[in-house]
Amino acid sequence: MSSLRHLLSTILLVLSLATIPLPIQAALPAMVDGQALPTLAPMLEQATPAVVNIATESRVRLRNPLLDDPFFRHFFNIPNRPRERQTQSVGSGVVVDARRGYIITNHHVIEGADTITVTLRDGHQLDAKIIGSDSESDIAVIQVSARDLTALPLANSDQLRVGDFVVAIGNPFGLGQTVTSGIVSALGRTGLGIQGYEDFIQTDASINPGNSGGALVNLRGELVGINTAILAPSGGNVGIGFAIPSNMVSRLMNQIVAHGAVRRGQLGVSVQDLTPDLARAFKLSISQGAIIAQVSPRSAAAKAGLKEGDVVLRIDNRPVRDSKDLRNAIGLLEIGETTRLEILREGQSLVIDAKVGEYVSAKAVGEEINPRLAGAVFEDIGPNSPLAGRVRGVLVNEVESGSPAARAGLRSNDVVAGVNRHVITNTQELQQLASASGSLVLDLIRGQNKLYLMLR
């Protein structure tokens, strides 16, 4: 009987404890309606170790015209020692080959760096060396020596669609590794003036200073792009960021690893956009494409049978919307590679295979352009030139001493950026604008300076 009373009292005690209100906890349940809550954590646990922080140090020589004068230095007893200033910058990178230690980043992240330090997610620091870079596309490959690296697999960026979810991983403002999410806002963005070759993925995932060179991944943790730039009118993120597609990154990386640089070929054509007015003039029913305006003699295009007036519709099964699309596609091809062009010629569809040739920079002799330029030789700034991607214009390759061009003040390594206030980008435009009689005003870039030179 006593045992029964003890059991009843125990039951009453449990029931009374059950009525006591428990404190409310501010935490989401592990499941809702029997379903697990969505989370990116498992994917990020696999992907984030492949994204690294990059810190660079550079020594910049400070120049003072007075200190370059030997008499001034002697008079004031100034030692002949170069003055230097040390600069530091931070960015991000992505391990794409764990075995060989290859890391992809932006060219502008490591440009001019004397030392490069890579910091892994676990805090381990490694010295890196530059394998090669390409300023035109803003891609660079660096290498570290380490075991047990984690690499990101590359996705096929051609399969991306507007609206796909993406995640940006990087080192914004040097704070350390940070993750932001968003969607693909647009594809194939060009004409931004950021790089020479542009085919950007636009995303609203927050990309801030320091994210450059970081990863843009899909929800499977695959690399779809390398973060490179933001549109920031007020200096901060406004939800418009740009990434270089992984397919472009892969092709450029292969060339950089093989050759230390990107060896771009050329077809030897000048192209322009197919505008509605041109479409009507050519009696075309299409509204997109690139018109071949000029075919260089003995070029790859000439050997393949391309002609002026041909409209390029597709290249290697990819649609060509305008001249930038065609230029970007050709810029990714290696010398000797064969490309397939689908064209429209006088209303007839044709398919032409062309073997990409080596880039040969066009040159122009000054006296053949204008007598006042006699003695100077001008040359296009090619894709492999150190000036490529930095300045646009025509390089003054050489100037003969005592020639009219030399007496007028033209010097070797000047860059002619404009003629009579018209911007130029190649020797053909220089010839067209500088051959006319009358005043001749050249807009020059000389080192870090800009100046106007009038030739009478």
Of the listed 89, 137, 138, 322, which one is catalytic? 138
Catalytic-residue membership of 6: no
Q: How far apart are CA 205 and CA 394, in angstroms?
A: 39
Can you list the positions of beta strands (E) in 120-177?
Answer: 125-134, 139-144, 165-170
Bridge partner list, 143: 102, 129
Q: How far apart are CA 432 and CA 394, in angstroms?
A: 13
Catalytic-residue membership of 107: no
Q: How far apart are CA 14 and CA 28, in angstroms?
A: 28
Tell me the three state secondary structure of residue 349.
strand
Structure token pair of residue 92: 């991000």
Bridge partner list, 344: 311, 349
Q: How far apart are CA 302 and CA 368, in angstroms?
A: 25
Could you tell me if 376 and 405 are in contact, meaning their C-beta atoms sit under 8 angstroms apart?
Answer: yes
Of the listed 157, 212, 246, 323, which one is catalytic? 212
Catalytic-residue membership of 124: no
Of the listed 89, 92, 107, 108, which one is catalytic? 108
Q: How far apart are CA 318 and CA 300, in angstroms?
A: 20
Burial class (CB within 10 angstroms; exposed 0-12, middle 13-18, buried 19+) of 148: exposed
Query: Catalytic amino acids?
Result: 108, 138, 212
